[in-house]
A and B are shown apart, each in its own frame.
Chain A
Amino acid sequence: MSSPSERPGTAAPSAVIHDIGYRPYAGPRLGEGAVARSFFVTGLRNCFGLGRSGRSKILPMGLLGLMLLPALILVGVLVQARTLLGLDEHIVAYSTYPITTQLLISVFVASQAPALISRDLRFRTITLYLARPGRRTTYVLVRLASLTAATALLIAAPLLLLYVGGLLADLPLGRETERFLAALVGAVLLAVCLSCLAAVVSALTIRRGLAVAAVIVVLLVSYTVVTTIQGISTESGNETVGEVAGLFSPYTLINGLQVFLFDSPAATPTPPTSDAIGVAYLVATVVTVLGAVGAMLARFRRVSA
């Protein structure tokens, strides 16, 4: 809007509406990096329903609240009853928390990956992006980055709450910081893994409901099967089977990787015990992520304008 013209000396009506017709834009035009950054931020906001309809905010915000609730209770218990219960560390370890809350995380990823990825295909909004200067590769990578960042935020928020609560309860600063940072790396790795898998599944269909269901099935079924096998293998004393099985669910995979890389407390009955299996966990993570990114790039190369 243009500002009303100032006429010095005349105090009387200064309000002037200018109908200036069409105004060309002569300001700066940002480069590829800045465009990608704003695309990333918009995608991240959209994952939490911001910039979308009111109804779209309910589920992601609700899940974020539910993710924080157990952490809040755990911190409350720790602060209030630390001496009473003789606690000198967190009741639930940082690295275990994402596994405990895996259902919430899965629902979040399953609901937001289609919202971010199937939506552009379903409404063919992708055409509008392709008709702008950005490249297809940038589009795919930024979309993945937004989803990953949103998932990482969801996983890391309760960890941060635990960390701050732990410090308030006078847990040793050095040890807690070390564990917390390791858990943050784990949170990011888990977010990358989950987002990539969910994105690939979502990109296969333009039907949002189908995509949501497919992602939930992939994440929940794989987790249930893997933990069942791990349980049986522990019972039967054949732990190597359980260690190998851990490769097939993102939750057990990343938890095992954290055990291998940072010596974090294990949340599964059969964490990797040998270096060979540990390396296999690392390789499996890298292959999952790179494979998914490759699949996404291939999928969107075929999208016609």
Chain B
Amino acid sequence: MVDVNSLVDVKNGTQAKRIFWDADIYKLELEQIFGRCWLFLTHDSIIPNVGDFTVTFMGEDEVVVVRQRDGSVKAFLNYCTHRGARVVNAEAGNARGFTCTYHGWAFGLDGALESVPFEKEVYGNVLKKDTLGMKEVRVESYKGFWYGNFDQKASSLADYLGDYRWFLDIWMEGTGGAELIGPPARSILKCNWKTPVENFVGDAYHVGWTHAASLKALGGPLGVLAGNQNLPPEGAGVQITSRHGHGVGILFNAGPALMAGEEGAMAAKWYAENQPKVAKHLSEAQAKYYGSHFNASIFPNNSYLWGTNTFKVWHPRGPNQIEVFTWAIVEKNMPQELKDAVRRSMLRTFGTAGMLESDDSDNMESMTNLNRGPHIAAGVLNSQMGLGNEHEDPESGNIIGPSAIGETSYRGFYRAYQEFLMAKDWDELRANDGKWKNELLNR
């Protein structure tokens, strides 16, 4: 039995070290978090046409996501309702239906069981075909990004994203939408799923140190941080955390990030030209953030960087392993030349051969695997930087930490983590809507 109350101390900014290792905690996470949160599936740009499908995971459950004849999207658990074999073996494609390889049960794009070989001869009237369709998962989209949820009682995706949408809209909507460049690269890392999520949600602290060599070599606006030669000055950035733990760290006007030279200039020009459009389309306040570098996670396991333009899902595979799905992400209206440059920069930095990706994964793996030692696994992790400096953000409705480097979004992520582990259902979660800020703001 896991004493959930002992795992996170929100006010003091600490978490029990065993959250990166303990199998019982992991089992609870699969039920309480991955069983109830909105989990990223795919983007409109990956399955544009009727019959297009892609296979992914929700937690450890494999799902197939399919564009329907009416243009909507459905998702199904990727197993046959007969004896449980996998139905779809390709990772993506276009199909008129799906046939199980074991006995040939055939399902439609809508998941319905359409035909069973020799049905009349071997089953007579026994089989209730209308109850044996592929098991459907609830899906919703926000600005073309599709998420799935196992819990019918969960709040809508829009409400789940909540006030954090204010920061998503800046790049998902500001200049006419974003798109993923697929297919995703896939890699296995031997780390707990939360180690990359917390890093992306709120760790600007490690950038200058972990990535010192990469930053020094690559240059660009982030290059000045190499080797902790410079601390970003006051007003250089902020950190944000939100109702359900989604968070972002922002470094103002660092959009070209690690693109130097001509490519960096091309990116800088794009951001400068489009900032007024974002102001007109969204708001002046949001335009202020456009062209900045974002490091962010959408709770629980979907992260993105804007500027280094990677979009990732960290699928859990047991308490100490993950499978990473990595896409490049661009604004739809960027010229092709800039899209190509952004994609190449992403591959060089955070792709599967990325210079910075390799730095991060070494830390994430050791943070996880050292916990095999019971003395190392004891005690707490520390995320106290900037504790007490936060306040409510009048513009977006979230909580803001007023410095580029701090651990506000860590604390917000783990506050939500604990809340999901403790709450018995979504009604209880919704009942906390009015008071979620109290602990973080120590009031």
Interaction A to B: no
Residues of B with Cβ closer than 8 Å to A? none
**Interface residues of A, Cβ cutoff 8 Å to B:** none
